[in-house]
Chain A
Amino acid sequence: MFQILMTLLIFIIIVIPIGMYMYRIATYQKTFADPVLNRLDNGIFKVCGIDPQNGMGWKKYVLSLVLTNAFMVFVGYIILRIQFLPIFNPNGISGMEESLSFNTIISFMTNTNLQHYAGESGLSYLSQMSVITFMMFTSAASGYAACVAFVRGLAGKDKKNMGNFYVDLVRVTTRILLPLSIIVTLLLVWQGVPQNLSQNVTVKTLEGTMQDIAMGPIAALESIKHIGTNGGGFLGANSSTPLENPTIISNIIELLSMMILPGACVIMFGKMVRDRKSSNNVPNAIKARKSLFGREGRTVFVAMSIIFLIGLFVCYYAEMAGNPALVNAGLSQSMGNMEGKEVRFGVSQSALFTTVTTSFTTGTVNNMHDTLTPLGGMIPLLHMMLNLVFGGKGVGLMNMIMYVILTVFICGLMIGRTPEYLGKKIEGKEMKLTALCIIIHPLLILAFSAIAVATKSGLAGITNEGFHGLSQVLYEYSSSAANNGSGFEGLADNTLFWNITTGLAMFFGRYLSIVIQLAIAGSIMRKQFVNESAGTLRTDTTTFTIALVLIVYIFAGLTFFPVLSLGPVAEHLTLWG
């Protein structure tokens, strides 16, 4: 328990300076690396014919995002299909089949990183580098770009200009993702993660048998996998393998890498919307500069932290309690539930990793989630269903803001005040879009799950009998719709049915939300500021934070409680009953 708290403490210490840095990048302020990076960026802009001064409205911004992503999907798909060519392919991997290629490419472009293949046998080094690693950068950068544009819209400094998508995409890549990845890659190699282009090594063991040891450019992928909250491992068993995550130090580096940018996004948001206030009201500017978060950012950060911590403790205690079925069989559970976990991490670091990877929607795993105790496994499932506890690459922040708007609306109704957020009126149009946005996610999860359990080809994937089978199905679609990518990996999911349905869930889960959210920001952006009065509901208070957390839980409860009680809860009751 102590080591969990210490790890979180390190997170809090480093998230603040990184948040400040991101804020500077998002608002085009000077940073220390400008002399070098300005040249690089300007070079890229020149080659691509991008005019950095050219701002975009929300529609153009979304269109550019979708169009660029479409090209990336196209190029990536081709590489996957022709990966059998002898280019960076020392292990002689063959080309990937169509439906699996479709699923894989959607999965990586949408930042989901659901994997229906195993890296050892499914991908050549060329694909690992120029499809997987490449998309890990660009899908994360696309998400952050959308988030930055969204916040610009809310902050509403300008009536039309949301920024230039290409500029944001490039700047996020060169100034945030690349530098961090280079540092983290070297740290990981130092800890033992391989980084080479050699063929897999076959050794002769002490007992005279043979052993294969996987090789490849693992570390370079591993770093951006976490920094970009992507989560798709180089090897089948992801960050539980000692090649991807060899030591406790590498484990903490990976944990922090995936927490840092989503956390920093909230801080960036707080500072960007605070700018609005300080420019309206000059005397307050000096006072505001001193606060680290910005008050609106603090509300969101605290609400996210509360939900995160509740989940973490439930998961930890559920895992420590162990598996009663094994106690009956005579195996002591004094170390907790160790099936599917690594000795070097134990229950503490595994429970922490599990909660972080699903809250920050990364999807990397350092233990097998299918083998978690029912309640321990319900937490990652629930956090993906919520999809707003920090969340990956800025998207979590946008989802949380949806709930903030909803809370403003509901609280406004309760006390009879006009709903306002960040100095703008929330009206019918925004509420309709918000409601739509909030509905899509559960609709994707529940509808696809219903189809899967109603069809033969869906049921064929289930490998654990009873209530846990339903959890496997639910987990797969929650992970897809939330663009998380972890799995209850027992599911036999490399079939036409699962490849296509999860591909669709990932696609709609990603792009519908982004389009709607930017539409909301675009609509709020155009409104006039209203003056704060005694009748304004303040959104930077403790009361509001608590209301926000409650609303999140109530909505999740109303939507998902029935299905959760049929899955994890029922399994828990039968195990312990």
Chain B
Amino acid sequence: MKEKFKTSLSGVKKAFLVTLVLLIICGLIYPLVMTGLSQLIFPHQANGSLVKVNGEAIGSELIGQDFTEDYFMKCRPSSVNYNTYTEEAKESGEYAGPASGSNNYAPSNKALVERVQADIDEFLKANPNIKKEDIPTDLLTASGSGLDPHISPKSAEVQLEKLEETTGLSMDTLQKIVDDNTEGKVLGIFGQDRVNVLGVNLQIAKEMGLID
């Protein structure tokens, strides 16, 4: 009996020690060493791929923004407004800190249809020359993360006519800006063609002389 108790006690001890050792290796040493290595080898990426203008970060290459000015290209709808907010919204508690996600509307949810309907109306009002059926699918559907930095090349194209008017830039310049910020498929096979909206708007702002 005593022997049995002793062996089971040593079993408990082993289980406890293994827990601690693995906690230290996998839960502390591993992530901290990886942080060090990443900071050393890929400092730009490891710190969020920030986009800087005159040394000040204005966003991240990876994340879209909620652009509202009419001389900027628009991103897709986002349930978290891309975590962009105003001072007032933060003070009033309307903005409660960074989040991500979508509204999770089922395809059969009426709220989804209502939102899309409202966005179509708004878009057609702002872009009177565009026909309803020419609006690309991605532009008026919300991304899963609420942070999608991209729109499809077609979604960029339908916005150009309006931008030509509001920015005062020529169609050629705008087209070139879009081309500069379009990424293709990897090896021509994997992924989708896409346009980085922040990149486009940054160049628009430069061309318009809003920033230097």
B residues less than 8 Å from A75 (CB atoms): 19-20, 23
* Contact between A344 and B100, CB atoms less than 8 A apart: no
B residues less than 8 Å from A335 (CB atoms): 136-138, 152
Given A210-B86, A246-B62, A341-B141; 15 other pairs, CB 8 A cutoff: A64-B14, A64-B15, A133-B26, A178-B30, A194-B45, A203-B58, A203-B59, A206-B202, A212-B85, A249-B190, A329-B117, A330-B117, A338-B137, A340-B143, A342-B143
Nearest-CB residue, chain B, relative to A252: B190
A7: Cβ under 8 A from any B Cβ = yes
Q: Please judge, given known A-B contacts A190-B42, A205-B58, A371-B144, whether A249 and B186 are in contact too, CB under 8 Å.
A: yes
Interface residues of B in 120-140 (CB under 8 A from A): 120, 132-138, 140
State the CA gap A346–B141 with chains docked (Å). 12
* Contact between B30 and A189, CB atoms less than 8 A apart: no
B76: Cβ under 8 A from any A Cβ = yes
On B, residues with C-beta under 8 Å from A are: 10-23, 25-28, 30-32, 34-35, 37-39, 41-42, 45-50, 56-63, 65-69, 72, 76, 82-87, 90, 96-110, 112-113, 116-117, 120, 132-138, 140-152, 185-186, 189-192, 194, 201-202, 205, 210-211
A25: Cβ under 8 A from any B Cβ = no
Q: How far is the CB of B130 from chain A (nearest CB, A)?
A: 12
Total chain A interface residues with beta-carbon distance under 8 A? 124
Q: Please judge, given known A-B contacts A331-B140, A366-B144, A464-B104, whether A178 and B38 are in contact too, CB under 8 Å.
A: no
* Contact between A336 and B137, CB atoms less than 8 A apart: yes
Q: How far is the CB of A54 from chain B (nearest CB, A)?
A: 10
* Contact between A332 and B136, CB atoms less than 8 A apart: yes
Choose from B30, B48, B87, B102 the contact partner of A215 (Cβ within 8 Å). B48
Interface string of A190-204 (1 = CB under 8 A from B): 111111111011011
State the CA gap A190–B15 with chains docked (Å). 37
On A, residues with C-beta under 8 Å from B are: 2-3, 6-7, 44, 47-50, 63-64, 67-68, 70-72, 75, 118, 120-121, 129-131, 133-134, 137-138, 166, 169-170, 173, 178, 181-182, 185-186, 189-198, 200-201, 203-207, 209-215, 217, 219-221, 224, 235-237, 240-243, 246-249, 251-252, 322-323, 325-326, 328-346, 349, 365-368, 370-374, 463-468, 471, 488-490, 571, 574-575
* Contact between A339 and B34, CB atoms less than 8 A apart: no
* Contact between B98 and A325, CB atoms less than 8 A apart: no
State the CA gap A138–B24 with chains docked (Å). 12
Choose from B48, B120, B194 the contact partner of A201 (Cβ within 8 Å). B48
